[in-house]
Structure 1
Amino acid sequence: MEKEPGSSEEMLDAARKQFLEEDLNILDFEIEELESRLAFTVTTEGSGESCTTACLY
């Protein structure tokens, strides 16, 4: 059975794809944020100063 253009199945597939792309964008942002926090923690710990949780925010 062939899909009709604009069928509900195609619309559902498009919505799923958009949802997954948005999730990936959010995860990419969170990964970048965690990487920058980690880099800050490593440089702070390397200098001999202690870094509490408060300095990460």
Structure 2
Amino acid sequence: MEKERSSLEEMLDAARKQFLEEDLTTLDFKIEELESRLAFSVTTEGGDVCAFCPTYCVA
């Protein structure tokens, strides 16, 4: 009985680990996508209009 419980706990831990790894991979992808969008839309020269705001950027 104890051995069976240990096996179930190991399976549950493995499933949790897999779930968390998938979540981290998804979050990494979303972060990279947002960084790309931000880099594309924000100018570093200043004086240009950003894609997200109607005012001039001062960055």
> Above 0.5 in TM-score?
yes
Is the radius of gyration larger for structure 1 or structure 2?
A: 2
- Count of residues in correspondence between the two structures: 43
CA RMSD of aligned residues (A): 0.9
- TM-score of the aligned structures, taking structure 2 as reference length: 0.69
What are the ranges of 5 or more consecutive residues in structure 1 without an aligned counterpart? Answer: 1-7, 51-57
| 2:43 counterpart of 1:31 | no
Q: Which runs of 4+ in 1 moved over 3 A?
A: none
How many Å separate the matches in 2 of 1:37 and 1:18?
Answer: 29
More helix by share: 1
What are the ranges of 5 or more consecutive residues in structure 2 without an aligned counterpart? Answer: 42-50, 53-59
